[in-house]
């Protein structure tokens, strides 16, 4: 091989290497979410320092792209078929859950009005808004007025001795050009969605949020949860711009009506208390007891 060809080959290899470094290597090559996040940060040369005038424009009202229903991964073939590679125990639990649901036996933890928590947050219904500031980004979902706060001011995670599990975890991030890269830890266990697998309180994620075009905001998410996942689970969530004229995001409080009080039966099903018409606010009823 001539010297010129050698130089061309080396040049091509360097280009490929630089592309890989810039985009980060595939998630499964990282041992954990921290290693993944730190590699992306190095590839972004720390971060892009954004000022108010340089922030991307994510204004508007958004909702999860229609037609996905309760599927956690929009790419999964059906509600029952997950794309997660589950550890045997969690695969068995998921299969049992689906068998119970088929018989009408289902209990959703949020029936008691606890928040859905993250990463389930990614799939919850209704409207979304993304509020960008140089030092933090608020990812807002209408249901239960659910806000994720992503610090982009360079701070690290809450120290271990001060940390405790949170519904939406502890999120830090940085801007890589127009993309927001987020690392979330210190989460609670839960389920990805109804009829979807469970995750444990070891779950951590790395996300890359970006505006694909004027009408789509996309989050590429890699989920790390070694107890439940054989390998990290990578999914792409998309949110579509809502074009309904004059639409407003509304306050969404879960406990407003005694007729919405449900309980879990001995066999694990969901049942209404159902006091009937005139029951009034649920808190009034509780006080009266």
Partner 1 sequence: MTRQSTLKIAVAAGVLVGLGVTASAHHSGAMFDPEKTITLKGVVKEFEYTNPHSWLWVTVTNDDKTMTDWGFEAEGPSTLFRAGIKKGDLKPGDKVTVTGRPMRDGRPAAAWVNVIKEDGRVLQPRAAPVTTTAPVTPAPTTPPGGI
Report the interface residues with partner 1, using CB under 8 A.
20, 23-27, 40, 63, 65-67, 69, 74-75, 101, 104-108, 110-111, 113, 124-127, 142-143, 181, 194, 206-208, 214-216, 218, 220-222, 234-238, 240-244, 247, 250, 252-254, 256-257, 259-260, 262, 269-272, 274, 276-278
How would you label 57-68 residue by residue, b for 16+ Cβ within 10 Å and e otherwise?
A: ebebbbbbeeeb
Name the residue nearer to partner 1 (CB basis): 148 or 208: 208
Q: Which two tokens stand for residue 190?
A: 């839960």
Name the residue nearer to partner 1 (CB basis): 145 or 158: 145
Name the residue nearer to partner 1 (CB basis): 12 or 236: 236
Q: Is it true that the peptide bond before 165 is cis, omega within 30 degrees of 0? A: no
What angle (nearest 5°) sits at the alpha carbon of residue 242, between those of residues 240 and 248? Answer: 135
**Smallest separation, CB 5 to partner 1 (Å):** 28
**Smallest separation, CB 260 to partner 1 (Å):** 5
Write the Ramachandran bin of 245: left for phi over 0, alpha for psi from -120 to 50, otherwise beta.
beta
**Smallest separation, CB 155 to partner 1 (Å):** 22
Name the residue nearer to partner 1 (CB basis): 140 or 240: 240
**Smallest separation, CB 49 to partner 1 (Å):** 21
Name the residue nearer to partner 1 (CB basis): 20 or 131: 20
Q: Which two tokens stand for residue 275?
A: 């006091």
Name the residue nearer to partner 1 (CB basis): 4 or 278: 278
Rounded-to-integer distance, Cα 203 and Cα 118, Å: 9
**Smallest separation, CB 159 to partner 1 (Å):** 26
> Within 13 Å, how many C-alpha atoms sit on residue 24's CB side?
23
Rounded-to-integer distance, Cα 198 and Cα 92, Å: 11
Cβ 200 vs Cβ 229: under 8 Å: no
**Smallest separation, CB 205 to partner 1 (Å):** 10
The H or E element that residue 284 is part of is helix 282-288
């Amino acid at each position: 091989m001539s010297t010129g060809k050698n130089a061309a080959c080396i040049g091509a290899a360097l280009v490929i290497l630089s592309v890989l470094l810039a985009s980060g290597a595939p998630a499964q090559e990282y041992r954990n979410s921290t290693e993944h996040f730190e590699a992306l940060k190095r590839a972004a040369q720390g971060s892009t320092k954004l000022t108010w005038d340089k922030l991307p424009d994510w204004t508007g009202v958004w909702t999860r792209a229609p037609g996905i229903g309760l599927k956690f991964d929009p790419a999964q073939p059906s509600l029952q078929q997950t794309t997660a590679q589950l550890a045997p125990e969690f695969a068995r639990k998921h299969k049992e859950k689906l068998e119970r649901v088929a018989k009408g036996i289902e209990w959703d933890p949020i029936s008691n009005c606890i928040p859905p928590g993250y990463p389930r947050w990614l799939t919850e219904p209704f409207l979304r808004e993304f509020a960008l500031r140089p030092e933090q980004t608020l990812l807002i979902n209408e249901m239960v007025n659910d806000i994720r706060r992503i610090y982009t001011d360079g701070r690290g995670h809450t120290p271990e001795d001060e940390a405790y599990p949170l519904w939406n975890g502890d999120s830090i991030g940085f801007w890589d050009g127009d993309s927001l890269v987020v690392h979330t830890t210190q989460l609670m266990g839960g389920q990805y969605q109804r009829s979807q697998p469970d995750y444990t309180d070891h779950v951590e994620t790395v996300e890359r949020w970006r505006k694909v075009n004027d009408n789509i905001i996309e989050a590429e998410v890699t989920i790390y949860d070694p107890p439940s996942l054989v390998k990290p689970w990578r999914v792409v969530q998309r949110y579509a711009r809502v074009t309904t004229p004059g639409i407003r995001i509304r306050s969404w409080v879960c406990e407003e009506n005694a007729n919405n009080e449900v309980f879990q039966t001995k066999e694990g099903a969901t049942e209404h208390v159902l006091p009937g018409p005139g029951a009034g606010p649920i808190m009034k009823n509780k006080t009266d007891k």
